[in-house]
Amino acid sequence: MGRMRKPCTGREEVALLFWTGVVVAAVLGFKRLDWWVPALVAGAVAAGQFFYFQTLLGDGGARLELLFSLILNLTMYYATFSIGRAIGERRARRRQRKGRRGEP
């Protein structure tokens, strides 16, 4: 017989939303987009978390959670954006050097 899975809790869904935003911010940093992009991603994820928590907690708890999640999202997304950007810039420099070696 198959195993029964326990139902997905709210924390797992919010964590999935958070980590999806982290990966998106890193990829956009790798693409070397502007500095405001992680703020846009953090705002979008925080809005999603706000609507999710508003349905669970009501008005008062959701507002406080929005503030904390926005601070956490901004911090994490700018960090991963910077890491992705550094990797993307290093890769672009490496490609430029390889192109120059083949020139006469």
Q: Kindly list the averaged pLDDT for each block of 10 residues, start to end, along the chain of length 104.
A: 59 78 88 86 83 72 76 88 92 85 58
Q: Considering the entire predicted model, what is its pTM?
A: 0.71
User: Is 3 part of a structural domain of the chain?
Assistant: no
* The pLDDT of residue 91: 92
* The pLDDT of residue 83: 92
User: Is 31 part of a structural domain of the chain?
Assistant: yes
* Domain containing residue 54: 13-99
CA distance readout (Å), 96 to 59, 82, 85, 101: 53, 21, 16, 9
User: Is 39 part of a structural domain of the chain?
Assistant: yes
Q: How many domains, the chain? A: 1
User: Is 63 part of a structural domain of the chain?
Assistant: yes
* The pLDDT of residue 103: 57
